[in-house]
Amino acid sequence: MNLLTLENLSVEFSSRNAAGVMRTARVLDGVSLQVGGARIVGLIGETGAGKSMTATSIIGMLPGEAHIASGSIRFDGHELLGLSAAQLDAVRGSRIGYVAQNPRAALEPVTRIGDQLVRLVQTHQAISRSAARARAIEMLSAVGIPDPESRYRAWPHELSGGMAQRVVIAMALINRPQLVIADEPTTGLDLTVQAQVLDLLRDRVRESGASALVITHDLGIVAQYCDDMAVMFAGQVIERGRVAEVFAQPAHPYTRRLIAASAARISERSANPASPPDLFIRRADCVYRDRCDRADSACLQAPAMRARVGDSGDHQVRCHHIEFRQGGERTSP
């Protein structure tokens, strides 16, 4: 059973252009995504693909200029869209933990680390301050912070980047959530600290039996830490499936380019030199058509997600030029 299910989620963002004319961009366009119980799902794509917008949609923290145009977000069988602010507050920080990509922005600069942790615990649990303090110190120790009692009294500016991110992970996990959403959790950290933080996040999620949605632009992170993956481009999920299956047989041209770029140790930008689609222009064709070397007249229509039969039967791709195996026969879509 899926813990989190997004169905045809669309988000629009309004802003004025240089001439003062209000325009609307569809920054998420029919996103469908599932996170299974006790599974870690990697959500990958280039900058501007819609990964962070997907995360903020789930936790109900879209920027003021954005709104959900259509779709559904179901968590543990319950619809999140339409909940009141108080109802969402009861879910955020308790049943859904969130690890922001910028720990400095996530921590209150004028509040001690321990006070922030204690407040988060007491907001969602009816326990005393002394019990909340003990839980906070326990979590600081669990995320590998040395001398946790001393760090409990520290100010955010006294922490290194890696330590600050460990505190943010502690905040996300302190109330034993069912789902952890980590948005680029290693941004700005050096490679050694990145590995430590990711190992920590994976291990704590596994130990608690929780699920996680890890947002990243790094295929290496997906390959090493995730069970399932979804690839985003221009506000759409264009391929999804189990990590081993997608890496072994990437079906979408964009996914193939990302994997080839990663293998060659070159950047996404050099592998995909064209500019991203203009999301202020609503188009009825395939969003990847301008970059695709297989594009033809069929691509003037937007493809739907199609299921491929692999080891799991979960591998899906949004492309006109993919062959699908059905009942032992190979057929074209």
What domains lie within the chain, and their CATH numbers? 2-109+155-331 (3.40.50.300)
The candidate with the shortest Cα–Cα distance to 169, out of 228, 81, 107, 222, is 107
Note the helical H segments in the chain. Answer: 51-58, 85-91, 103-106, 113-124, 129-142, 148-152, 161-173, 191-208, 219-225, 243-248, 253-263, 268-271
Average pLDDT score, the chain: 90
Predicted pLDDT of residue 267:
44
pLDDT band per the 50, 70, 90 thresholds, residue 265 = low
CA–CA gap between residue 114 and residue 118 (Å, rounded): 6
The pairing of strands 305-307 and 96-99 is: unpaired
Predicted pLDDT of residue 269:
44
pLDDT band per the 50, 70, 90 thresholds, residue 306 = confident
| Percentage of residues of the chain with pLDDT beyond 70 | 92
CA–CA gap between residue 114 and residue 136 (Å, rounded): 7
Predicted pLDDT of residue 273:
53
Neighbours of 238 (CB within 10 A): 25
pLDDT higher than 60, residue 278: yes
Q: What is the pLDDT of residues 18-30, one digit of tens each?
A: 888 889 999 999 9
Predicted pLDDT of residue 324:
59
